[in-house]
Structure 1
Protein backbone atom coordinates (compact mmCIF):
# COMPACT_ATOMS: atom_id res chain seq x y z
CA UNK A 1 0.00 0.00 0.00
CA UNK A 2 2.89 2.34 0.78
CA UNK A 3 4.22 1.90 -2.76
CA UNK A 4 0.85 2.77 -4.33
CA UNK A 5 0.54 5.91 -2.21
CA UNK A 6 3.97 7.11 -3.30
CA UNK A 7 3.11 6.47 -6.96
CA UNK A 8 -0.18 8.35 -6.61
CA UNK A 9 1.55 11.30 -4.92
CA UNK A 10 4.19 11.43 -7.68
CA UNK A 11 1.53 11.28 -10.38
CA UNK A 12 -0.49 14.10 -8.81
CA UNK A 13 2.64 16.22 -8.32
CA UNK A 14 3.56 15.81 -11.99
CA UNK A 15 0.08 16.87 -13.02
CA UNK A 16 -0.32 19.91 -10.77
CA UNK A 17 3.17 21.38 -10.28
CA UNK A 18 3.28 23.03 -13.72
CA UNK A 19 -0.01 24.77 -12.91
CA UNK A 20 1.30 26.10 -9.61
CA UNK A 21 4.50 27.57 -11.01
CA UNK A 22 3.29 28.98 -14.31
CA UNK A 23 1.94 32.53 -13.94
CA UNK A 24 0.68 32.63 -17.55
CA UNK A 25 -1.24 29.40 -17.11
CA UNK A 26 -2.58 30.46 -13.74
CA UNK A 27 -3.83 33.78 -15.17
CA UNK A 28 -5.38 32.06 -18.17
CA UNK A 29 -7.08 29.49 -15.95
CA UNK A 30 -8.46 32.20 -13.68
CA UNK A 31 -9.63 34.38 -16.56
CA UNK A 32 -6.94 36.96 -15.92
CA UNK A 33 -5.45 39.33 -18.46
CA UNK A 34 -2.13 38.42 -20.09
CA UNK A 35 0.05 41.09 -21.77
CA UNK A 36 0.45 40.85 -25.54
CA UNK A 37 4.16 40.48 -26.21
CA UNK A 38 4.11 41.71 -29.83
CA UNK A 39 1.55 44.46 -30.43
CA UNK A 40 2.74 44.67 -34.05
CA UNK A 41 1.48 41.14 -34.71
CA UNK A 42 -0.76 41.23 -37.82
CA UNK A 43 -3.68 39.65 -35.93
CA UNK A 44 -3.50 42.31 -33.19
CA UNK A 45 -3.46 45.03 -35.88
CA UNK A 46 -6.48 43.38 -37.51
CA UNK A 47 -8.37 43.43 -34.18
CA UNK A 48 -7.46 47.13 -33.70
CA UNK A 49 -8.63 48.01 -37.23
CA UNK A 50 -11.89 46.18 -36.57
CA UNK A 51 -12.35 48.13 -33.31
CA UNK A 52 -11.84 51.51 -35.00
CA UNK A 53 -14.06 50.62 -37.98
CA UNK A 54 -16.84 49.35 -35.70
CA UNK A 55 -16.60 52.43 -33.49
CA UNK A 56 -16.75 54.67 -36.58
CA UNK A 57 -19.85 52.83 -37.78
CA UNK A 58 -21.61 53.04 -34.40
CA UNK A 59 -20.74 56.66 -33.61
CA UNK A 60 -20.65 58.06 -37.15
CA UNK A 61 -17.07 59.30 -36.74
CA UNK A 62 -14.03 58.88 -38.97
CA UNK A 63 -11.14 57.89 -36.74
CA UNK A 64 -8.06 56.42 -38.40
CA UNK A 65 -5.85 53.92 -36.57
CA UNK A 66 -2.25 55.05 -36.20
CA UNK A 67 -0.84 52.26 -34.03
CA UNK A 68 -1.44 49.86 -31.16
CA UNK A 69 0.41 51.05 -28.06
CA UNK A 70 -0.16 48.05 -25.80
CA UNK A 71 -2.60 45.24 -25.25
CA UNK A 72 -3.74 42.29 -23.21
CA UNK A 73 -5.74 39.16 -23.89
CA UNK A 74 -8.16 37.23 -21.72
CA UNK A 75 -9.33 33.70 -22.40
CA UNK A 76 -13.13 33.49 -22.15
CA UNK A 77 -15.55 31.70 -24.47
CA UNK A 78 -13.15 32.93 -27.13
CA UNK A 79 -10.65 35.73 -26.50
CA UNK A 80 -11.05 39.27 -25.23
CA UNK A 81 -8.53 41.77 -26.56
CA UNK A 82 -8.04 44.94 -24.52
CA UNK A 83 -5.98 47.31 -26.66
CA UNK A 84 -4.71 50.81 -26.06
CA UNK A 85 -4.39 52.42 -29.46
CA UNK A 86 -3.59 55.76 -30.97
CA UNK A 87 -6.03 57.16 -33.53
CA UNK A 88 -6.63 60.45 -35.27
CA UNK A 89 -9.77 62.18 -36.45
CA UNK A 90 -7.82 64.37 -38.85
CA UNK A 91 -7.17 67.23 -36.47
CA UNK A 92 -6.43 65.58 -33.12
CA UNK A 93 -4.59 62.44 -32.11
CA UNK A 94 -5.83 60.64 -29.01
CA UNK A 95 -5.33 57.37 -27.17
CA UNK A 96 -8.29 55.01 -26.82
CA UNK A 97 -8.93 51.76 -25.02
CA UNK A 98 -10.86 49.23 -27.06
CA UNK A 99 -12.13 45.83 -25.94
CA UNK A 100 -12.97 43.30 -28.65
CA UNK A 101 -14.40 39.84 -28.04
CA UNK A 102 -13.42 37.31 -30.68
CA UNK A 103 -14.50 33.74 -31.36
CA UNK A 104 -12.12 32.96 -34.23
CA UNK A 105 -13.63 29.53 -34.98
CA UNK A 106 -17.01 31.21 -35.64
CA UNK A 107 -15.61 34.26 -37.49
CA UNK A 108 -17.23 36.34 -34.74
CA UNK A 109 -16.01 39.70 -33.38
CA UNK A 110 -17.81 42.17 -31.15
CA UNK A 111 -16.68 45.60 -30.01
CA UNK A 112 -17.42 45.55 -26.28
CA UNK A 113 -16.14 49.04 -25.46
CA UNK A 114 -14.23 51.94 -26.99
CA UNK A 115 -13.30 54.88 -24.78
CA UNK A 116 -10.76 57.71 -24.73
CA UNK A 117 -7.87 57.11 -22.34
CA UNK A 118 -7.82 59.82 -19.70
CA UNK A 119 -4.58 61.41 -18.70
Structure 2
Protein backbone atom coordinates (compact mmCIF):
# COMPACT_ATOMS: atom_id res chain seq x y z
CA UNK A 1 0.00 0.00 0.00
CA UNK A 2 2.81 2.41 0.89
CA UNK A 3 4.47 1.74 -2.48
CA UNK A 4 1.24 2.61 -4.31
CA UNK A 5 0.89 5.86 -2.35
CA UNK A 6 4.50 6.81 -3.08
CA UNK A 7 4.01 6.01 -6.77
CA UNK A 8 0.82 8.11 -6.98
CA UNK A 9 2.45 11.03 -5.17
CA UNK A 10 5.45 10.86 -7.51
CA UNK A 11 3.22 10.81 -10.59
CA UNK A 12 1.21 13.76 -9.28
CA UNK A 13 4.36 15.79 -8.64
CA UNK A 14 5.74 14.93 -12.08
CA UNK A 15 2.47 15.91 -13.81
CA UNK A 16 2.20 19.15 -11.84
CA UNK A 17 5.78 20.11 -12.60
CA UNK A 18 5.25 19.37 -16.32
CA UNK A 19 2.08 21.48 -16.35
CA UNK A 20 4.04 24.48 -15.07
CA UNK A 21 6.81 24.11 -17.61
CA UNK A 22 9.15 22.39 -15.18
CA UNK A 23 9.19 25.39 -12.84
CA UNK A 24 6.71 24.72 -10.11
CA UNK A 25 5.94 28.06 -8.48
CA UNK A 26 7.85 30.02 -11.13
CA UNK A 27 6.60 32.97 -13.16
CA UNK A 28 4.61 31.92 -16.23
CA UNK A 29 3.72 34.25 -19.13
CA UNK A 30 0.00 34.93 -19.53
CA UNK A 31 -2.06 36.94 -22.00
CA UNK A 32 -1.82 40.69 -21.46
CA UNK A 33 -5.13 41.12 -23.31
CA UNK A 34 -7.12 38.98 -20.85
CA UNK A 35 -9.89 41.14 -19.29
CA UNK A 36 -9.02 39.89 -15.79
CA UNK A 37 -5.37 40.85 -16.27
CA UNK A 38 -6.42 44.31 -17.49
CA UNK A 39 -8.63 44.73 -14.41
CA UNK A 40 -5.66 43.87 -12.18
CA UNK A 41 -3.58 46.44 -14.09
CA UNK A 42 -6.25 49.10 -13.52
CA UNK A 43 -6.35 48.19 -9.83
CA UNK A 44 -2.56 48.54 -9.55
CA UNK A 45 -2.45 51.95 -11.24
CA UNK A 46 -5.39 53.35 -9.28
CA UNK A 47 -4.14 51.99 -5.95
CA UNK A 48 -0.65 53.38 -6.49
CA UNK A 49 -1.57 56.87 -7.67
CA UNK A 50 -4.99 58.27 -8.50
CA UNK A 51 -3.46 60.87 -10.85
CA UNK A 52 -2.17 58.17 -13.20
CA UNK A 53 -4.56 56.92 -15.86
CA UNK A 54 -4.32 53.24 -16.84
CA UNK A 55 -3.59 52.72 -20.54
CA UNK A 56 -2.67 49.06 -21.12
CA UNK A 57 -0.87 45.93 -19.96
CA UNK A 58 2.23 45.41 -22.09
CA UNK A 59 3.48 42.18 -20.50
CA UNK A 60 1.97 39.83 -17.93
CA UNK A 61 3.22 36.92 -15.85
CA UNK A 62 1.58 34.92 -13.09
CA UNK A 63 3.01 32.90 -10.21
CA UNK A 64 1.01 30.31 -8.32
CA UNK A 65 1.38 30.80 -4.57
CA UNK A 66 -1.37 30.50 -1.94
CA UNK A 67 -3.38 32.47 -4.47
CA UNK A 68 -1.70 34.22 -7.40
CA UNK A 69 0.92 36.89 -7.88
CA UNK A 70 0.77 38.94 -11.07
CA UNK A 71 3.84 40.74 -12.39
CA UNK A 72 2.73 43.28 -14.96
CA UNK A 73 4.43 45.82 -17.17
CA UNK A 74 1.92 48.64 -17.52
CA UNK A 75 1.52 51.77 -19.60
CA UNK A 76 -0.12 54.67 -17.79
CA UNK A 77 -0.59 58.34 -18.64
CA UNK A 78 0.83 60.77 -16.10
CA UNK A 79 -1.92 63.35 -15.54
CA UNK A 80 0.56 66.09 -14.66
CA UNK A 81 2.78 65.65 -17.70
CA UNK A 82 0.34 64.04 -20.12
CA UNK A 83 3.02 61.52 -21.14
CA UNK A 84 2.67 57.75 -21.24
CA UNK A 85 5.15 56.05 -18.93
CA UNK A 86 5.88 52.42 -18.16
CA UNK A 87 5.70 50.76 -14.76
CA UNK A 88 6.15 47.33 -13.23
CA UNK A 89 3.52 46.25 -10.71
CA UNK A 90 3.23 43.13 -8.61
CA UNK A 91 -0.25 42.32 -7.32
CA UNK A 92 -1.24 39.49 -4.99
CA UNK A 93 -4.68 37.98 -5.51
CA UNK A 94 -6.47 35.47 -3.31
CA UNK A 95 -10.16 34.98 -3.96
CA UNK A 96 -11.70 38.43 -4.32
CA UNK A 97 -8.94 40.15 -2.33
CA UNK A 98 -6.15 42.07 -4.05
CA UNK A 99 -3.05 43.67 -2.60
CA UNK A 100 -0.52 45.85 -4.42
CA UNK A 101 2.91 44.55 -3.40
CA UNK A 102 5.07 46.86 -5.51
CA UNK A 103 4.77 49.55 -8.16
CA UNK A 104 7.84 51.11 -9.72
CA UNK A 105 8.63 53.14 -12.82
CA UNK A 106 10.69 51.50 -15.53
CA UNK A 107 13.56 53.64 -16.73
CA UNK A 108 13.65 52.34 -20.29
CA UNK A 109 10.79 52.07 -22.74
CA UNK A 110 9.26 48.67 -23.13
Q: How would you bin the TM-score normalised by the shorter chain? A: 0.7 to 0.9
Equivalence map 1:14-93=2 (5 Å): 15=11, 17-19=14-16, 22=18, 24=20, 26-27=22-23, 29=24, 31-36=25-30, 38-57=31-50, 62-90=51-79, 91-93=82-84
**Structure whose residues are more often helix by fraction:** 1
Instruction: Kindly indicate which of the two structures has a greater share of residues assigned to strand.
Output: 2
Larger radius of gyration between Structure 1 and Structure 2: 1
Q: Is the alpha carbon distance of 1:116 and 1:24 closer, same or farther for their aligned partners in structure 2, counting shifts above 3 Å?
A: same
Q: Tell me by how many angstroms 1:48 deviates.
A: 0.4
Give 1:25 shift. Answer: 5.2
TM-score (norm 1): 0.73
| Aligned residues between the structures | 101
TM-score in terms of structure 2 length: 0.79
Counterpart Cα distance in 2 of 1:94 and 1:23: 35
CA RMSD of aligned residues (A): 2.3
Report the CA distance between 1:49 and its aligned residue.
Answer: 0.6
CA distance in structure 2 between the partners assigned to 1:103 and 1:74 by the alignment:
12
User: 2:14 and 2:66 mapped to 1: Cα distance?
Assistant: 26
- SS of match in other structure, 1:26: coil
Unaligned residue ranges in structure 2 (runs of 5+): none
Could you report, residue by residue, the CA deviation over 1:35-61 in whole angstroms, capped at 9, with x for unpaired residues? 11x21111001100100110015xxxx
Which ranges of structure 1 fall in alignment gaps of 5 or more residues?
A: 1-7
Q: Does 1:12 align with 2:1?
A: no
2:102 paired residue number: 113
